[in-house]
């Protein structure tokens, strides 16, 4: 690790000010991605701004519309264990409970996960699958607009994610096929029927541009919510990631398999 | 037997310090004034080193020195060697390319060190290492052993034409060819054994301290064999004569073979300590471990087996290409030859065997012994072809094996080994019963009703442990003898120290070795201390690998205990005025049989040291040493049965049952043996399903972290069903065979046999990743549909 300056702001505004001061500053949330990257000397931030002591970024609350607002610095373990989340969006709680291992879940945060937008991360599936809203210190963005590509988001350099708001769906489930080595998602499908009756199928882990929706599956499920409805829908392997763990063909197959399982699990 | 004696499940004495974080590893050692080393490593698999510019690095804060290969060679530090001479079939010696601890001219694998920085702190050393500018001229690279032998392939070493190190053979080729000519059935197949990274929990480390006034070095290091390290460092690498070099291997967190060898980094720390005048510490990070710890396996073979009209095997013919990486590591030459081809007879009576092995240089990390070393490769080949043959001839795989079992001992195989004992039917029967082999069909049908494909596979393995009779290995090319030594020191207060040349890095010697003493004298293991891992304390030793610490190391202790007991009895007889023949040792006391006379152990020890009343001519003290040289290898064997369920949609394999019936001979501590088997099976299942060291064509190791190198985890393996059958080894005093590697040796073919049974396609390589299984299944389906 290179030398760096550590900051511990108490408010989002202070954090934003620190961030704006230097081109080379980085926000630190759970550190589960940033710290290993720094240890491997692949990142060399001049300043590290720790978000974990900002009260505004903490907490899980039920919103007026029956949805859930999760602060950016909330850990995966807190989401997995939250009574509110389990009651309103059980699929989200179980997704969080399947991320990494206990150490990772007690450190890693939802804000860090989505800001990083690793194509193999699980949360992007839930955000897009549930049509969540990302709140930053500057604006609100729909999940569809937030994720823009591999490790790319719509965040501006000095923008900080403060919360994510999920509407409660009528039903939803996440089916994850983990990468055998890293246990990140090799293909994860989040299928949801939202309260307004619309259907979303979001795929993470498989796409070469990160999380994506499968319109054909959404249509099929809108008229017939059953595993059989998606069984015949194949995605193009041309748009899939390919690596030593799974070729594009194999991932394309997994998208269909996991979609069936997600729909079945959602009931 | 006392409560702590042979056969007791004594809890591991060493675990208290390990579990409470109080172990003392090399990285826990500090010496005043210590500097830290960081290596400058090649990012290229094959390149000329045109120049090294250290000027910027030397100007950085805290930097003590930047040292390069030219200085190392100039100081007379020797090249790394391979200590086992193998001759090709044409009689020419193996072609050893020059391996320097820091390479001044041509780097041959990614991660090879070209320079070292020593600085006040680790961070400063790493910063400066990054600032060393190395100008490389890239050369074409080759990573596949078969491709490396082809005309036009990049050449690694001028000594080795076509990258061929040796072209070796064993067995009677004419007899084998004749058997194939008259065979009723021949099965032939291609079999490859995937390359693995050892992944010991503790990465390698070294702390070298040169004392200028005494011209003496101390090296703390992660070694499985500190005396061998000292010997090689002094005799071949010219670091220091043996009496001026102390090697200490303190607590060591796992080795699996990878810590047998002396690597460039340890040598460089010693040399750099003298050069800089300060102690130098280096601890590998995980990436360095992936890139520089000797890898394991990496074979490609063509195998053929011949049967007569009664389905008895008449011959086995094998051609193997083994990838040894960029350089010949310390024992690399012996692994694909005498540790491999000599086991090709398996548990079977095979009249004729011929094996040809070509070993090849490639632009990859050097390959050497890794848990099992040669025997897993042999077992995988034999047990895959046995299973395949049984399927081809339509015979139950268990019956086909049984029909060809060796049943009489000693049995001389056509490939050197003489099996001394065993009962292969006993372990097969035990495993089949425990696996409920007979009712597999019902379980398969039930799995099918859940949409799962269930398969069963077995492996009847044999391996050779207790390496090895010194004269025999010497005649086969070994540069060292492979005996072991021990010293038993009874203190005046009656506590006992056992100094052993074996080294424990996870095996639990502090417990099992103490059990020998407890058993002998009826004392508690808590009064026994095992001393190992320090060349200044222990007389000598060949270290721990090849499951030799029981069969060889403990045998040396037994010999020393015999001598102590004999002297103690003589003294006891003198003190109690009885005849020596009447003295018995029981419950920590020396007793005169048939009387109520007794002397407690501690009193006798005190008497030996006060020496106030000794028999005529007896020397004071109670301390004896012994060297034990085995008379043969030992031959653990057994049957493993694996049952899997496969998800046809994803190709994912779940191991749903695993039965292991092992014959390890005499068992000292069943709990520790079970732990060894658990670990071995997990590594073997890891090889079969998960682990693979993959290089891309340019020679980059693409699985250089746990994000990509798939280590088995607890939930990848089932709860194992273990049992033992016992035939005693006639060759050593305790009848032990060894248990350290069997799990890793025997399990991969059982897993692959089970998967191929489930999917109906025999064409499947390790690791059987979900995608590979999914593809094999897809390939088999049209064929099945046509049936
Ligand atoms: C062993 C291991 C296994 C894992 N397995 C999984 C898995 O199975 N599935 C999965 O989805 N993930 C997995 N992860 C990732 C982990 O869950 C975290 O989500 C991820 O590391 C990022 O979250 P963090 O809080 O640790 O962020 P950090 O590492 O602290 O930060 C990551 C990036 O986000 C930026 N950032 C952080 N917070 C904010 C914010 N509020 N606003 C703007 N930018 C911000 C940082 O500057 C940094 O660039 C794993 C990680 C590890 C180490």
Closest residue in chain B to residue A183, using alpha carbons only = B707
Residue A136 scores a pLDDT above 80: yes
Question: Could you identify the atom of ligand 1 that is nearest to the CA of residue A27?
Answer: 47
Report, as an integer, the average pLDDT of B720-739.
Answer: 97
- According to the model, what pLDDT value does residue B261 have? 96
What is the CB neighbour count within 10 angstroms for residue B445?
10
Of A138, A142, A141, residue with least CA distance to A157: A138
Mean pLDDT for chain A overall: 97
Assigned token pair, B271: 């040399």
Q: Are B60 and B127 in contact (CB under 8 A)?
A: yes
Judge contact between B635 and B731, C-beta under 8 A. no
Give the mean pLDDT of A5-18: 97
Q: How close is the Cα of B188 to the center of ligand 1, in Å?
A: 51
Residues of B with CB below 8 A from A245's CB? 708, 769, 771
Inter-residue contact B544 to B738 (CB < 8 Å): no
The pLDDT of residue B783 is above 70: no
With b meaning 16 or more CB within 10 Å and e meaning fewer, what string describes B104-126?
bebbbbbbbbbbbbbbbebbbbb
Residue of the CA atom closest to atom 12 of ligand 1: A121
Nearest to A250 among B130, B710, B774 (CB): B774
Q: Which residues contact B211 (CB under 8 A, 6 or more apart)?
A: B217, B218
Between the two ends of chain B, the Cα-to-Cα distance in Å is 62
Share of chain B above pLDDT 90, in %: 98
B483 with B627: CB under 8 angstroms? yes
The answer, yes or no, to whether residue B438 has pLDDT greater than 80, is yes
A-B contacts at Cβ under 8 angstroms: 44
Distance CA A161, CA A179 (A): 28
Pinpoint the alpha helices (H) of B632-705: 670-689
CB contact under 8 Å between A245 and B771, yes or no, is: yes
Among candidates A247, A161, A162, A251, which has minimal Cα distance to A204?
A: A251
Mean pLDDT across chain B: 96
**What average pLDDT does the segment B116-134 reach?**
97
pLDDT of residue A31 exceeding 90: yes
Cβ contacts of B769 on chain A, cutoff 8 Å: 180, 245
Q: What is the mean pLDDT of residues A194-216?
A: 97
User: What residues of chain B have any CB closer than 8 angstroms to a CB in chain A?
Assistant: 123, 126-127, 130, 287, 649-650, 690, 692, 694, 702-703, 706-711, 769-771, 774-775
> Is there a contact between B463 and B741 (Cβ–Cβ < 8 Å)?
yes
B784 pLDDT more than 70: no
Task: Inspect the interface and report whether the beta carbons of B774 and A245 lie closer than 8 Å.
Answer: no
Report the pLDDT value the prediction gives residue B728, as an integer from 0 to 100: 97
From B650, B706, B775, residue closest to A181, measured CB to CB: B706
**Cβ atoms A95, A114 nearer than 8 A:** no
pLDDT, position A64? 86
Say whether A207 sits in a helix, a strand or coil: strand
Contacts of A250 in chain B (CB under 8 A): 770-771, 774-775
- The arithmetic mean of pLDDT across residues B295-305, rounded, is 98
Residue-wise pLDDT tens digits, B246-256: 999 999 999 99
Contact yes or no for A40 and B287 at CB 8 A: yes
> ipTM for the complex?
0.96
Task: Tell me the average pLDDT across A161-166.
Answer: 98
The mean pLDDT of B652-664, rounded to a whole number, is: 98
Tell me the C-alpha to C-alpha distance, in Å, between residue A164 and each of A50, A70, A133, A143: 19, 5, 6, 9
Shortest CB distance from A181 goes to which of B287, B707, B771? B707
Domains of chain A: residue spans and CATH: 5-166 (3.30.465.10), 171-266 (3.30.390.50)
CA distance A245 to chain B (A): 8
Confidence band, pLDDT 50/70/90 cuts, at residue B445: very high
Across the interface, of B650, B694, B702, the residue whose CB is closest to A254 is B650
Residue B1: the pLDDT is 44
- What are the structure tokens assigned to B399, written together? 């019956």
Query: Using CA atoms, how far apart are residues B249 and B226, in angstroms rounded to an integer?
Result: 6
pLDDT given for residue A147 in this prediction: 98
Gap from CA of A248 to ligand 1 centroid (Å) = 25
**For residue A3, what is the nearest residue in chain B, using CA coordinates?**
B123
How far apart are alpha carbons B585 and B590 in whole angstroms? 5
What confidence tier does B787 reach under pLDDT thresholds 50, 70, 90?
very low
| Most informative mutation of A34, A45, A72 for ligand 1 (most atoms within 8 A of CB) | A34
Q: How many C-beta atoms lie closer than 10 Å to residue B530's C-beta?
A: 24
Ligand 1 atom nearest A136 alpha carbon: 42
CA–CA separation, A1 and B757 (whole Å)? 49
Query: Residue B786 — very low, low, confident or very high, per pLDDT cuts 50/70/90?
Result: very low
Other beta carbons less than 10 A from residue B150's beta carbon: 11
pLDDT value at position B317?
Answer: 98
Does residue B101 sit in helix, strand or coil? coil
Best of A103, A118, A181, A206 to mutate (most B CBs within 10 Å, chain B): A181
Q: Does A246 sit within 8 Å of B126, measured CB to CB?
A: no
Alpha-carbon separation of residue B151 from A221, B327, B644, B736 (angstroms)? 58, 20, 43, 49
In this complex, the residue of B126, B127, B649 whose CB is nearest that of residue A257 is: B649
Chain B closest CA to A246's CA: distance in Å? 6
Task: Spell out which residues line ligand 1, taking CB within 6 angstroms.
Answer: A 26-34, 51, 72, 76, 99-100, 104, 107-109, 111-113, 115-116, 121-123, 155, 160-161, 183-184
Domains and CATH numbers, chain B: 15-20+483-628 (3.30.365.10), 31-139+201-254+259-292 (3.90.1170.50), 299-467+632-786 (3.30.365.10)
Q: What is the mean pLDDT of residues B352-363?
A: 98
Is the pLDDT confidence value at A194 over 60? Answer: yes
Ligand 1 centroid distance, CA of A116 (Å): 6
Residue B609 pLDDT > 50, yes or no? yes
pLDDT, average across residues B383-409: 98
CB B534 within 8 A of CB B500: no
Scan for tokens 């305790």, then name that residue: B734
CB contact under 8 A, B694 and A244: yes
pLDDT over 90 (residue B134): yes
Residue with CA closest to ligand 1 atom 43? A160
Q: Which atom of ligand 1 is nearest to the CA of A37?
A: 29
Using only the alpha carbons of chain B, give its radius of gyration.
27
Please name the residue of chain A whose CA is at the shortest distance from the CA of residue B715. A180
In this prediction, residue A173 carries a pLDDT of: 98
- What's residue A66's pLDDT? 87
Q: How far is the CA of A28 from the centre of ligand 1 (A)?
A: 9
């Amino acid at each position: 690790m290179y030398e760096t300056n550590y900051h511990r702001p108490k408010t989002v505004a202070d954090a934003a000010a620190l961030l704006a001061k230097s081109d080379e500053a980085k926000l630190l949330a759970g550190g589960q991605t940033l710290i290993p990257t720094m240890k491997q000397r692949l990142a060399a931030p001049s300043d590290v701004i720790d978000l974990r002591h900002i009260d505004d970024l903490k907490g899980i609350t039920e919103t007026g519309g029956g949805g859930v607002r999760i602060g950016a610095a909330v850990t995966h373990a807190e989401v997995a264990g939250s009574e509110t989340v389990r009651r309103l969006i059980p699929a989200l709680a179980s997704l969080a409970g399947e991320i990494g291992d206990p150490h990772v879940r007690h450190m890693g945060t939802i804000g860090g996960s989505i800001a990083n937008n690793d194509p193999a991360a699980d949360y992007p599936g839930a955000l897009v699958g549930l049509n969540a809203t990302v709140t930053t210190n500057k604006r609100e963005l729909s999940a569809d607009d937030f994720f823009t590509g591999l490790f790319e988001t719509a965040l501006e350099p000095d923008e900080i994610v403060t919360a994510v708001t999920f509407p409660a769906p009528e039903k939803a489930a996440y089916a994850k096929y983990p990468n055998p080595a890293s246990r990140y998602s090799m293909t994860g499908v989040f299928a949801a029927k939202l309260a307004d009756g619309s259907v979303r199928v979001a795929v993470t882990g498989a796409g070469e541009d990160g999380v994506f929706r499968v319109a054909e599956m959404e249509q099929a499920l809108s008229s017939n919510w059953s595993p059989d409805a998606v069984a015949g829908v194949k995605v193009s392997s041309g748009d899939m990631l390919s690596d030593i763990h799974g070729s594009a063909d194999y991932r394309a197959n997994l998208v269909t398999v996991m979609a069936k399982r997600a729909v079945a699990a959602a009931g | 037997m006392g409560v702590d004696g042979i056969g007791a499940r004594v809890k591991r004495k060493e675990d208290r310090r390990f579990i409470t974080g109080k172990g003392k590893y090399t990285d826990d050692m500090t010496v005043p004034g210590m500097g830290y080393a960081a290596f400058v490593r090649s990012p290229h698999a094959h390149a000329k080193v045109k120049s090294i510019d250290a000027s910027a690095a030397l100007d950085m804060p805290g930097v003590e020195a930047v040292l390069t290969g030219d200085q190392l060679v100039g100081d007379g530090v020797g090249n790394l060697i391979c200590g086992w001479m193998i001759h090709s079939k044409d009689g020419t010696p193996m072609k050893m390319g020059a391996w320097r601890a820091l390479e001044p001219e041509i780097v041959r694998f990614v991660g090879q060190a070209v320079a070292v920085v020593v600085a006040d702190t680790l961070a400063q050393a790493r910063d400066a290492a990054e600032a060393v500018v190395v100008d490389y001229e890239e050369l074409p690279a080759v990573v596949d052993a078969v491709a490396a032998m082809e005309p036009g392939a990049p050449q690694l070493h001028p000594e080795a034409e076509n990258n061929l190190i040796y072209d070796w053979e064993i067995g009677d080729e004419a007899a084998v060819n004749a058997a194939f000519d008259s065979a009723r059935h021949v099965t032939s197949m291609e079999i490859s054994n995937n390359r693995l990274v050892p992944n010991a929990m503790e990465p390698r480390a070294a702390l070298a301290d040169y004392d200028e006034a005494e011209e003496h070095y101390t090296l703390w290091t992660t070694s499985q064999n500190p005396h061998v390290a000292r010997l090689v460092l002094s005799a071949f690498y010219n670091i220091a004569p043996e009496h001026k070099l102390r090697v200490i291997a303190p607590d060591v967190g796992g080795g699996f073979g990878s810590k047998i060898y002396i690597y460039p980094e340890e040598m460089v720390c010693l040399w750099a300590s003298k050069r800089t005048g300060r102690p130098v510490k280096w601890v590998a990070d995980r990436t360095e471990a992936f890139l520089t710890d000797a890898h394991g396996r990496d074979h490609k073979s063509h195998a053929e087996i011949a049967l007569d009209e009664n389905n008895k095997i008449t011959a086995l013919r094998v051609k193997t290409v083994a990838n040894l990486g960029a350089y010949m590591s310390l024992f690399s030459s012996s692994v694909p030859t005498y540790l491999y081809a000599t086991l090709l007879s398996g548990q079977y009576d095979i009249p004729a065997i011929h094996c040809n092995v070509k070993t090849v240089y490639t632009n990859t990390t050097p390959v050497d012994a890794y848990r099992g070393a040669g025997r897993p490769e042999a077992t995988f080949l034999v047990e895959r072809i046995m299973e395949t043959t049984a399927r081809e001839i339509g015979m139950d795989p268990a019956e086909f094996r049984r029909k060809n079992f060796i049943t009489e001992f000693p049995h001389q195989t056509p490939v050197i080994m003489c099996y001394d004992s065993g009962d292969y039917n006993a372990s097969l029967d035990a495993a089949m019963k425990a696996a409920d082999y007979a009712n597999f069909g019902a379980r398969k049908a039930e799995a099918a009703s859940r949409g799962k494909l269930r398969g069963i596979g077995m492996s009847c393995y044999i391996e050779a442990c207790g390496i090895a009779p010194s004269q025999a290995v010497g005649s086969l090319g070994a540069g060292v003898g492979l005996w072991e030594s021990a010293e038993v020191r009874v203190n005046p207060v009656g506590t006992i120290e056992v100094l052993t040349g074996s080294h424990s890095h996870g095996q639990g010697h502090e417990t099992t070795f103490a059990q020998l003493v407890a058993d002998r004298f009826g004392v508690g293991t808590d009064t026994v201390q095992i001393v190992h891992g320090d060349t200044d304390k222990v007389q000598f030793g060949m270290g721990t690998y090849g499951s030799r610490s029981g069969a060889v190391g403990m045998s040396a202790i037994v010999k020393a205990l015999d001598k102590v007991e004999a002297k103690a009895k003589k003294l006891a007889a003198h003190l109690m005025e009885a005849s020596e023949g009447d003295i018995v040792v029981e419950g920590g006391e020396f007793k005169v049989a048939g009387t109520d006379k007794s002397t407690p152990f501690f009193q006798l020890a005190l008497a030996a040291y006060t020496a106030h009343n000794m028999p005529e001519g007896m020397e004071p003290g109670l301390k004896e040493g012994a060297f034990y040289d085995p008379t043969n290898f030992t031959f653990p064997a057994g049957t493993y049965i694996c049952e899997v369920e496969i998800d046809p949609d994803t190709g994912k394999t779940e191991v749903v049952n695993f039965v292991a019936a092992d014959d390890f001979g005499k068992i000292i501590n069943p709990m520790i043996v079970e732990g060894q088997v658990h670990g071995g099976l997990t590594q073997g299942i890891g090889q079969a399903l998960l682990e693979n060291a993959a290089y891309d064509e340019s020679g980059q190791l693409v699985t250089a972290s746990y994000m990509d190198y798939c280590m088995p985890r607890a939930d990848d393996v089932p709860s194992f069903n273990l049992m033992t059958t016992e035939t005693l080894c006639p060759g050593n005093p305790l009848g032990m065979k060894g248990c350290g590697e069997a799990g890793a040796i025997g399990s991969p073919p059982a897993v692959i046999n089970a998967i191929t049974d489930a999917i109906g396609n025999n064409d499947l390589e390790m690791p059987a990743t979900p995608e590979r299984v999914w593809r094999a299944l897809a390939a088999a389906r049209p064929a099945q549909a046509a049936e």
